[in-house]
Amino acid sequence: MPMQQPDPEDNGLPYFSEQDSEAVVNARMGEDISPRLRQVMSTLVRHLHAAVKEIEPTHEEWLAAIQFLTATGQMCNAWRQEYILLSDVLGVSMLVDSINNRRPSGATPNTILGPFFVDGAPRYPLGADICLDGKGEPLVVHGRVVDTEGRPVAGATLDVWQTNDDGFYDVQQQGIQPEGNLRAVFQADADGCYWFKSVKPRHYPIPSDGPVGQLLGRLGRHPNRAAHLHFIVTAAGHEPVITHIFTPDCPYLAQDAVFGVKQELIADFQQVTDPAQARRYGMAAPFWQVEWNFVLAPAAGTASREELIGRITAS
């Protein structure tokens, strides 16, 4: 009995060709797979094949790309995720964050969480000094937490963390920096007001000793993050905000390595020389101060701070 020849019309496009490559690959997906998986994979295949057709890489170039991805994976361990770093420097992390945190006009915008948030930071009363190593230019941070109607959010919780004046987070220098240095949790008062003492943040480099750092160098890009303070602001009945505030005089403000700067988050840091104002805060002049108000969007439900932080760190 003669062998039956395959029908070229079966299953759409069964045979590979340069012209129809993405359609042939996507036609191989089964009928019973997740609709979302089908959408994601068909889109990725379509754009990947379009990029390859536009670039027309040589075999050597494609092998170099695979070797780069292999080296990126080999750099990952329990405390370092090189693929997240790659996502960051390509702007994808910020794009995903923006898509997932669209907020009403006037609400404080999100930025990326970053790898150095630690739940369980020490809780301090308002006005406490969170700088434990004595380095840097003194800073007072103060402001209010309000809703989109301008009403105070009483008792809102603020997690704050930043690098020290050497450009390192406390968890990067265990045994060198005091534990919990420049890291704290505060609770706003009944009027939504908060304030604390710290030091003016400075810019610092992201890890650049791996494949992602080598890629930045070949692209003529630096690894520096613009100077900032991190915040997570949570309150029952409101969407949590994960954000930074940036100093306006940082040389890397418009060149942040992970695209974390949004114009709305550039704060006004002012140097204070008035002795009377210094006495008001229990400071010695000169010092820096910044006023920053957080605007929270409404949310369904009344999740606690612990539940909200759990969602943030699990995502």
Segments forming the whole domain that contains residue 289 = 92-314
DSSP string computed for 157-203? EEEEE---TTS--GGGSBTTBPTTTTEEEEE--TTSEEEEEEE----
Indicate the number of domains in the chain: 1
What element of type H or E holds 295? strand 294-296
Say how far apart CA 250 and CA 225 lie, in whole Å. Answer: 10
Asked, for residue 61, whether it belongs to a domain, the answer is no
Asked, for residue 37, whether it belongs to a domain, the answer is no
Distance of CA 256 to the CA centre of its chain: 12
229 token code pair = 């303070």
Distance of CA 247 to the CA centre of its chain: 17
73 token code pair = 């994976």
pTM for the predicted model, two decimal places: 0.87
Report the CATH number that the domain containing residue 135 is assigned in CATH: 2.60.130.10
- Find residue 161's DSSP bridge partners: 183, 230
At 312 the pLDDT is 76
Enumerate long-range contacts of 299-306, CB under 8 Å, 24 or more apart: 299/237, 299/238, 299/239, 301/237, 302/236, 302/237, 303/236, 304/236, 305/157, 305/234, 305/235
Say how far apart CA 38 and CA 22 lie, in whole Å. Answer: 13
Asked, for residue 100, whether it belongs to a domain, the answer is yes
Asked, for residue 8, whether it belongs to a domain, the answer is no
Asked, for residue 38, whether it belongs to a domain, the answer is no
Report mean pLDDT in 10-residue bins for the chain, 315 residues: 47 82 95 97 98 98 98 92 95 94 92 90 98 97 97 98 95 93 98 98 95 98 98 95 97 96 97 95 96 94 77 71
What element of type H or E holds 96? helix 92-100
- Rounded to a whole number of angstroms, the distance between the first and last alpha carbons of the chain is 59
At 6 the pLDDT is 47
Please say whether the beta carbons of 130 and 197 come within 8 A: yes
Asked, for residue 249, whether it belongs to a domain, the answer is yes
What element of type H or E holds 26? helix 21-27
Asked, for residue 234, whether it belongs to a domain, the answer is yes
Asked, for residue 79, whether it belongs to a domain, the answer is no
